[in-house]
Every structure is written in structure tokens, then in C-alpha cells.
Structure 1
Amino acid sequence: MARTKAEKNPTSEGASASAPSIKNVIVLGGGSAGYLAAISLKVRLPQLSVTIIHSKDIPIIGVGEGTTFSVPIFLHGYLGIDPGAFHRVVKPTYKLGIRFLWGPTDHFHYSFTNQLDSRLAELSKPNGFFCQDEFLYGDLTGALMEHDRAFERQPDGGPLIGTNVAYHIENREFVEFLETCAAEVGVVTRDDEVEGVDLDEDGVKDLRLRSGESVSADLYIDASGFRSELIGKAFGEPFESFEPSLFCDRAVAGGWGREDELVKPYTTAETMNAGWAWQIEHDELINRGYVYSSKFISDDEAEAEFREKNPKVKDTRVIKFETGCYRRNWIKNVVGIGNAAGFVEPLEATSLAIICDHMGKLIRALTDSDLAIEPKAVEYFNRYTERNWRAIRRFLAMHYKFNTRIDNDFWRACWNDTDLAGAEDIVDYYENCGPGLMWASEAMGPADPFGWEGYLVMLVGQQVPPKKLWNKLTQADRQVWETYRSQLSQRAANGMTVTEAVEKIRSPNWGWKPDFYAKAVRW
């Protein structure tokens, strides 16, 4: 359990004399952020006492959720959660990327592989130069997505899986699984609610609970969601709004039981009149949601548009949100994780990935400092998380700035008024130099999770017009490219569907190599 005061650890080499060693941690809030934070701390730093304080009276935002490929690596490689058990209990489906119904073409695919940040050896220019008219079949993953297939088949009939694929997850099943995992690794969970916070010169002194008890710890994780009880309320940390770049502030979410629809190996992102709609695939459920701007459409109008597009939708609910982040995510003895630290709309499914990444960085910082809160480590953590949030902001802004699919008041406002918030330089380079690869390292920072590939996909996929045409592509080059695409299409057409793949993977006969995910860990 959490204790009242931290004790100095005289054997901790490298820790400053004024920085006591952390022994006890309180995680405020359940949900995916709280449980992932608690499990991460207990698994990677087992000497810590970790307690979650979460009231069952506070609902969890339980909608179907997509991830990026880093999340399975974190769960199974970093935390050691058995992928076999995870698949049998949580029943995720596989996600190869996003199908964008976006821009002037019918659709394009953003995969977790390098379709455009790549060049075939036989070509004179990078792949992106050959995708100006049609961006499909950029690589094998893109071809699989085009054919609604998840994986190639191995000779034994099983799916050929890599670590560059993500999950579609039902949030409630996921949180219940994490709750069980937390108990198994020794995390204590208390059903209680914080009614007051006492501060001192070191940060949070103690939490006053509804039960009448006061509890203290050496380190607090604020995973209280949009309420941001510690970072936002107790400390009053300034909140940086992303509204100048991201106009949407609400979502209406719903779904229906799957009938004969194919389980697709991607999230669908579809342009709507005042925003966009997601479609997330589960075994027995199709989850849909419409993210929109309340300045351009009312809740009733959004609901009507959503239902017209999706007549099978059952009950719906409206979720209000504000995009942005707190300037500092680590303040004294408190670290904000998940929505308590910041939020961006789910256009690139970054929510769980941010939690995993920031927890990995926090644990590395604590490990390096022998479990002390070192001011310089806090400074660099905050510098990284601030850049990380802003990188996501600028990348999402590009989705709105250049989407010409619908011409109406909302989208004209996006074209004219969206603040690219730092992406201007990348766009300028692309418009003048094309989808080349030479200077990618100059444009990208280590806190940008999308890399050069992500920017090229959105610029090429939306057919952002260059200032000059690249018409010096030889006929030989074009023939090589078309042959390559044709071969990929043939391979992908023979691939496995998601349903076929998960049936194999959930079988007790399926075995995972012990280092399958561990070898991909980067934290």
C-alpha cells in the first residue's frame, strides 16, 4: 500500500542527495491509461508498491478502439503479456492501417509499412513519384488492404504475421483484461474517489478520499481522464488548445451487430459534412462514430447525418472533448498520462500509443535515476511530451488542410484557416521537391511518431498539387512500377481474411515465439 513519506536510499548511486528514492506510487484513475500505467510500473520496476484509486461510479469511456503497431509491441514485448491469452480473452482483430475515404480519389491506404518512404532498386526515383495519379498497391501491406486481406499464408496454412500490425480492441474487454493483469502482477486496486488534494513544496502531499481516509505516495500518476484531477485542477497547469488546427470538438458514437459484413483489416476514416467518421471492426460488432465541429453542425444534425450514412446503428451517445495538452505532463511528484495530460481526436488512433510511449519514457527516466525524481529528467520528459503532442497536432492538421473531397462551409474553413502548426516547412519541401527521401531526417524529430512516411502518405494520398510536374519518369520506370504493383496484387489476392487469421491465432495449437515481440521493443 502507499505510505506517507519517501525515504532516502543511501545506496542509490547517481541520485542527487536531495532526491529521495521512490518506493510507493498511487495511480489515480482506472481505464486503459490507469491500468497500463500501473502494470508498466509494477512489471518493469517490481520493487515499487503500486496502488490504483478508481471509483466504479466514474464511467469509463468505452468505445471500440484502434491502435498503432507500437501497442502490441508494448503489451507483449515490453510488459510480457501473453499474446495467446490476450487474443483468446480480449479477441482483438487485426489492423494493417487506415483506409482513407479522403481527398479527390476514391480512397487510399495509410499502412504501418513504408509504401512511399522507399525506393525500388530498379527505379530512378522514390516510390512516391509514381503514385501521383493513383496511390494504391504501394507495397504488400497496401495491396493486402486493397483486397481486404490481413496476411499472406504460410506453407502450413497459418498467417504470416509481422510486428508492424495493430489491433482493433473493444475497450471494455480490454480494460477488464488489464484489471486482471494488474492484480496478477501485484497492483492493489481501491474503489474510492478523491475529494480533495493537499499540496506542499514537493507537489502532492496527500489525497483526501471519499471514504474519509487520506493517502500519500512518493509518486502520483494522474490517469483521471478529461477531469485531470492533479495536473489540471490541483496544479492549475496551463492547457494549450489545438483548436486553431483541429476544429472538431464532439463525436456521436454507435454501432451494430455484425451480420454478413466482412471483417476488414483496417480502420476506415470517411469524410463527412462537418468532420469525419470512423469504422472499427470487431468480431461481432461494427463500431462507428462521427467526429464533428459543433460550430458548423448541431448535435441533432450530426446524428441525422450519421444515421443516414449508417442505418443499422442502434443507440448512440455524444462525447464532448477539447483537443490540446497541458504544457507540462510531469510536475514535481505527479506525471499525467493519457487524457489527463492531453487529448487529440482519434483520426490516427494515437490514444493508446501515447500512453504506452510516455510510460516507456517515464520508466526509463526512473530507472536511469535509481528511482529518484531528478529535475533535469523531468525537464527533458516534458520537452519530449510537449513536442510529441505538437507533432501529432501538426500531422492531423494536414488531414484537414488539404482534404478537398467535400466543398462546404466546414471544409472551406479547414482549407483557409487550419493552422499547420509547424508542418508548413514539410509541405513547402514537398511542393517544391516532390516526395523525395533525401532530407527526411532534417524534417523529422525523435518525438514525431509518424515519420516521413506518414507525411508523404497524406500529401500524396490527398493529391496536394506540386508547384511543378515531375514528368521525367521514363517508360522503363513506369513499366517496372506497374509490374511490381501487379505482382503485389496477385500475392495479396491469395491472402487470409481477418476472420481466417484470428481463428488460427486463437487456437490452442497456435504458438508464439518467445521473442516475437520482445525483439521489436524500443523503450
Structure 2
Amino acid sequence: MVQRIVIVGGGAAGWMTAAAMTASRRGRGSVELVESEEIGIIGVGEATFPSIRAFNERVGIDEAEFLRATHGTYKLGIEFRDWHSVGDRYFHTFGNFGSLLGPYMLWGQYRRMADASLGEFGEQCLPTAMAMQGRFVVPDEDGGAPYKYAYHFDATLYAAFLRDFSMRRGARRIEGRIVEVIRAENGDVKRLRLADGREVEGDLFIDCSGFASLLLGRAMKEPFVDFSRWLPVDGAWACPCERVGEALTPYTRATALEGGWAWRIPLQSRTGHGHVFSSRHIDPDVAREQLMAQLDGKPLTEPRLLRFTTGHRERFWVRNVVALGLSSGFLEPLESTSIFLIQTNLAHLMTLLEAKAPLDETAIADFNARGAREFRRIRDFIILHYCLTARRDSALWRDMATMDLPDTLAYKIDLWRHHGVLHQQQDEGFDETSWLAIHAGMRHWPQRTDPVLNELPLDHARDILQRRREAIARAVAPLPPHHAYLARLMNLAQGAQRPAR
């Protein structure tokens, strides 16, 4: 049994791990986290996936307290600007488009109609309509939630919040810089030596040391699987700016640019901006200038440059070392999956640690296989945003439109293009509705109409679509603006009821 767990590195990955471990292992061994104030964390504004709510609820975090502490806002999804062509936009939100099969298949009937009077396809999805109008309320989950939501927050503040939360529940923080990783004869990590000479021993070491990958990458020398053949972005400029105006958009924005794309993440106290770019396609200094042109208001700091390679370690668990977060791999933040990947691998690890079965080679091999599959599935989903572009106005977009696709993605695109099938594989990070949102947003529809759609008379199909659109519009109209809902929540005492609609 694992008695002593040592987490290497703080940040969101480290303290999320500590929070989860202390919540589930009370009285069953120790949880220690080693971090150094000398080593900074990435700490940009973070956009997330709805699974973050499940994590917070599982470890016992109150939503209002969390949002206050992290300057957080709500997120219904992402607005994509200029991805298909300059001037276009579409949304990928956490809702649905009705039935995906049979004659009542809404996307199929919408495509069959090709009727401008039916409005945008996104108007058939409740959270998309909410996002378009900047409105937000938490759904009535007791009655069956019609949509999911996530958050935007300050990643540095989130790590600090989780640190205090975890330490109150028994986690021990050790301040110190690791200068040596001492391994046993069998290859396990035995202990860590700090700069002041102290040593930290453990049974299981969880590497949350970020891009440095101090244990898995440096000490264990685990090879890296490079995805830059398909995802060439290798740098990002990040710069927060002053919040301008009262409105807070309940969504992230991703704007396609000449050599990459720019993010916009609204927080209560500021707005996070960044430019993810490919240095093969644009000079970093030009990318910096383009970022500064995107800012809503006055910059609060000098832009900071981050360098990375997309991909992951071949294995995530080697001997008694498990890597979570950036130490295991990195996918560009286009769909806000960094924390999601931490969560899914952490959840799998927790399941194995809590099971009575021994941690044998089969269990570890399954952990590694699942982790690699998930990276590949999300990689394919991100590539989809690029490869369907109609843009040919710069080298990046010409290259992305004509590149050779991974076989797994090429197969899924072929099934959709020729048969209208939204194929799902094992360990998908995104469901059929998400894939549909991107296909529709990029105007990539099947080449033929499913004959089953003709079983519904045109007038009947049009009536269904129009009624759904009108019902969604009526539901959205009385909802409060996002900033107003959030302000009321922040003014309530902890533990009080949510603000009224």
C-alpha cells in the first residue's frame, strides 16, 4: 500500500492533486508537496471545461467562495472568430442541438432547409443563444440541466486557494528547491535532496513540475511524443489588461490570426489576453505586436513569452513516478483542456490507489495507454479546427489546410463527410455534439442528405426548427447579464442561496 505520497511542484496541477489526495486519504498515509518560491508557475488566466465543477464538488469546494478567491467568471463555451474565413464566427458551447439521429435530427433538418429565416445554427442551442447575448444563470439541475458550464479564473490564485484548502485538510507543504533525485537500484525514486541538504522520502512521487518534467523527463528520461507535425504552434505571448466596461462575456474568445490565434479570457478583475503562434510561420516580435493590438484596455504587465512543444511523454507512469499536468505533456489551450487532462489522469490514479487490488504492471500499463489515447483524441479535435479552414491568406493557414492528417482524424472526417456519422472512439475528450459544433461552424457538412430526413415533411421540419429557436429566445430574454448575475452572487454571504434569475 502507498503510505507516503510526495508531490513535486505546486501550481494548479500540484495543488489539485494535493486537494484530491487529502480528500480521499484522510488517516491513510501522508501527502507532502515540495515547491520552491524561487520557481514561478505559468499562472495565466485559465479557461476550463465543465469537468472542473465535478472536481470542485468532489473535494468540497463552495462555488461562490472559489469564484471570489480566484476572480473567476462563468464560461458557457468558446467563440471562434476568423477560423473559417476572416469575418466569420461560431460558438462551441456546452449544450446540445437536439436529436442527432433519425428524421428529427435537428442539424440534418437545418441543413436540409438552408433557410436564412431560421437564423444561425447556434440559435438551436440554449447556451449558445445565451452566450450570443451575454447572459448567464446556473441551470436548474434538479429538473435536468439543459446545459453545462465551466469557469474562467486566475490560475495563480487558484493554486493559492487550493494550497490553503489542502493544508487545512492535512497536506504538508515543504519549501525548497530540488537539486538531486536519488534513485534505488530497481529504478524507483527513493528520495529528493533539497538545496539546503534536507531529504524527502516517499513511496509514490507525483511529478507536477511543469514543462521542466523534473522526475519523469529528467530523472526517468522518458521519451517525448512530438505532435508539432500537426500542431506547429510553439510559443505564446501572454499579457493581462485592465477590464474595460461593465459587461463580462460568459465565454472565451479565440481569434485566428496570421500565424496562430489570440485568446481572450474575462475575469472579474482583469481580462487575460494571449497569442499562441508558430515561430515557423511568424516572427515572435510580430506576434507580440499582434497581441498588443488585441488588448481591450491598458496592459497591466509586460507581455511574457512561453515556449513549448505539443505532445506528451510516451508513458505517464514509470516505476513509482506519475506525471500530471505539463510534466506529462502539453496541448495548445484552444479548447481549454489542460486542467481537464490533469483531472482525468488524476481521477484514474485515485481509482487505482483506492482499489484493494495491487498496483501491478497491468494496471500501470492501462493507465499509460488511457493517457496516451486521450491526448491523441484531443489532438485530433484541435486539429479539426485548423484543417477545415477556407483561409489561404498566410503560410500557416495554407499549411494547415493541406497537411496530412492523423489516420484517426482522417477516418472520422471521412465518415462525417460521406455518411454524416459523428464517430466516437475510446477515451474521447469531446462528445458528438462538440464535433458537430466545429463541423457546423466551419461550414463542413456531409456531401449528401440522409434519406431518413425526407420522412419529415418540409413544413413540419421548418416548424420544429422555428419553434425551438423561438422557445430558446423566450427562455434567454429574461435572463440577467452575466456580470449582473455574478455581481449578485459575489455579494451574497457564503452558504446563501444563489441569486434569483
The reply to whether TM is greater than 0.5 is yes
> Residue 353 of structure 1 corresponds to which residue in structure 2?
340
1:148 paired to 2:127? no
Q: Secondary structure at the match of 2:383?
A: helix
Q: Aligned partners of 2:160 and 2:266: how far apart in 1? A: 19
How many residues end up aligned between the 2 structures?
478
TM-score w.r.t. structure 1 length? 0.86
Q: Secondary structure at the match of 1:423?
A: helix
> Residue 117 of structure 2 corresponds to which residue in structure 1?
none
User: Deviation digits for residues 20-53 of structure 1, max 9, x if unmatched?
Assistant: x110011000101011111111111221201111
Q: Aligned partners of 2:100 and 2:363: how far apart in 1? A: 36
Distance change in 2, residues 1:396/1:153 (3 Å): closer
> Residue 467 of structure 1 corresponds to which residue in structure 2?
447
Please tell me the residue identity of whatever aligns with 2:40: P
User: Deviation digits for residues 442-476 of structure 1, max 9, x if unmatched?
Assistant: x3234111011121111111012533356957232
Please tell me the residue identity of whatever aligns with 1:495: L
Q: Aligned partners of 2:16 and 2:138: how far apart in 1? A: 32
> Residue 338 of structure 1 corresponds to which residue in structure 2?
325
User: Offset of 1:135 from its aligned partner?
Assistant: 2.3
> Residue 248 of structure 1 corresponds to which residue in structure 2?
233
Q: Secondary structure at the match of 1:395?
A: helix
User: Deviation digits for residues 319-351 of structure 1, max 9, x if unmatched?
Assistant: 111110001101111100000001101000011
> Residue 11 of structure 1 corresponds to which residue in structure 2?
none
User: Offset of 1:152 from its aligned partner?
Assistant: 7.5
**Given that residues 152 and 494 in structure 1 are in contact (C-alpha distance below 8 angstroms), is that contact kept between their aligned partners in structure 2?**
no
> Residue 69 of structure 1 corresponds to which residue in structure 2?
50
**Given that residues 87 and 505 in structure 1 are in contact (C-alpha distance below 8 angstroms), is that contact kept between their aligned partners in structure 2?**
no
1:205 paired to 2:218? no
Distance change in 2, residues 1:212/1:254 (3 Å): same
Flag structure 1 segments of 5+ consecutive residues without an equivalent. Answer: 1-20, 155-159, 515-523
1:501 paired to 2:485? yes
Name which structure has the greater RCO, CA cutoff 8 Å, separation 6+.
1
TM-score w.r.t. structure 2 length? 0.90
Distance change in 2, residues 1:153/1:29 (3 Å): closer
Q: Aligned partners of 2:23 and 2:344: how far apart in 1? A: 15
> Residue 298 of structure 1 corresponds to which residue in structure 2?
283
Q: Aligned partners of 2:443 and 2:61: how far apart in 1? A: 41
Aligned ranges for residues 31-42 of structure 1 at < 5 Å? 31-42=11-22
Q: Secondary structure at the match of 2:245?
A: coil
Please tell me the residue identity of whatever aligns with 1:72: R
User: Offset of 1:142 from its aligned partner?
Assistant: 1.4
Q: Aligned partners of 1:287 and 1:403: how far apart in 2? A: 26
1:111 paired to 2:90? no
**Given that residues 152 and 491 in structure 1 are in contact (C-alpha distance below 8 angstroms), is that contact kept between their aligned partners in structure 2?**
no
Q: Aligned partners of 2:367 and 2:235: how far apart in 1? A: 30
> Residue 318 of structure 1 corresponds to which residue in structure 2?
305
> Residue 195 of structure 1 corresponds to which residue in structure 2?
179
Match of 1:266 among 251, 258, 275: 251
Q: Aligned partners of 2:227 and 2:447: how far apart in 1? A: 29
Distance change in 2, residues 1:359/1:114 (3 Å): same
Please tell me the residue identity of whatever aligns with 2:106: N
User: Offset of 1:288 from its aligned partner?
Assistant: 1.0
> Residue 80 of structure 2 corresponds to which residue in structure 1?
100
Please tell me the residue identity of whatever aligns with 1:461: G
Please tell me the residue identity of whatever aligns with 1:404: A
Please tell me the residue identity of whatever aligns with 1:477: A
Q: Aligned partners of 1:431 and 1:247: how far apart in 2? A: 25
> Residue 105 of structure 2 corresponds to which residue in structure 1?
126
Deviates more, 1:465-474 or 1:59-68: 465-474
Distance change in 2, residues 1:168/1:256 (3 Å): same
Distance change in 2, residues 1:402/1:116 (3 Å): farther
Give RMSD over aligned pairs: 2.3
**Given that residues 139 and 147 in structure 2 are in contact (C-alpha distance below 8 angstroms), is that contact kept between their aligned partners in structure 1?**
no
Q: Secondary structure at the match of 1:467?
A: coil
Deviates more, 1:58-67 or 1:449-458: 449-458
**Given that residues 273 and 406 in structure 1 are in contact (C-alpha distance below 8 angstroms), is that contact kept between their aligned partners in structure 2?**
no
Q: Aligned partners of 2:228 and 2:285: how far apart in 1? A: 22
1:237 paired to 2:222? yes
Higher helix proportion: 2
User: Offset of 1:427 from its aligned partner?
Assistant: 0.7
Distance change in 2, residues 1:254/1:192 (3 Å): same
Counting aligned pairs with the same residue, the percent is 28
Q: Aligned partners of 1:288 and 1:454: how far apart in 2? A: 24
Please tell me the residue identity of whatever aligns with 1:58: I
Deviates more, 1:47-56 or 1:444-453: 444-453
Q: Aligned partners of 1:340 and 1:421: how far apart in 2? A: 27
